[in-house]
Structure 1
């Protein structure tokens, strides 16, 4: 299972990870992001890529497997497949 941690000292509470996550893993609480549904994480790392403060850490994902999956690309692939 993927373990997601948020550095609360670094998180600026912008909410970009909340808006960008296709699996709705994150929510804002007291001006900080937190992984409310970490079990939904599909390891696309879109949240990690969009975070301006680089406040997110994902344990259990290997660097060679890191990639960004856009929800529009997934929808397009589902239509084609």
Structure 2
């Protein structure tokens, strides 16, 4: 499971992550981006890339050559290789 954290001190409430997320994970609440459906996150990191304040953190995924891979897949591949 991907854990999403929003740095509420950094978030400027621009709403770009809300508009950009293909899975509709975020909503603006009191002017702050809030992950309201974190279990729907597919780990594409489009929200992270578009955030001008870099206020979003995703735990449980790694970026590799512009493809985003679940940490469990990385661990499995290490055992095979």
Report the TM-score range of the alignment, normalised by the length of the smaller protein. Answer: 0.7 to 0.9
Unaligned runs of 5+ in 1: 69-81
Q: Tell me the number of residue pairs that the alignment of Structure 1 and Structure 2 aligns.
A: 68
User: TM-score normalized by structure 2?
Assistant: 0.79
Bigger strand fraction: 2
Q: 1:29-77: per-residue Cα shift (whole Å, max 9, x none)?
A: 0000010000000000000000000000000001327548xxxxxxxxx
User: TM-score normalized by structure 1?
Assistant: 0.79
Equivalent runs, 1:17-28 vs 2, <5 Å: 17-28=17-28
Segments ≥4 residues shifted beyond 4 Å: none
Unaligned runs of 5+ in 2: 69-81
Aligned Cα RMSD in Å?
Answer: 1.5
Change (3 A) 1:66 1:26: farther
Q: Which residue of 2 aligns with 1:32?
A: 32
Q: Which has the larger radius of gyration?
A: 2
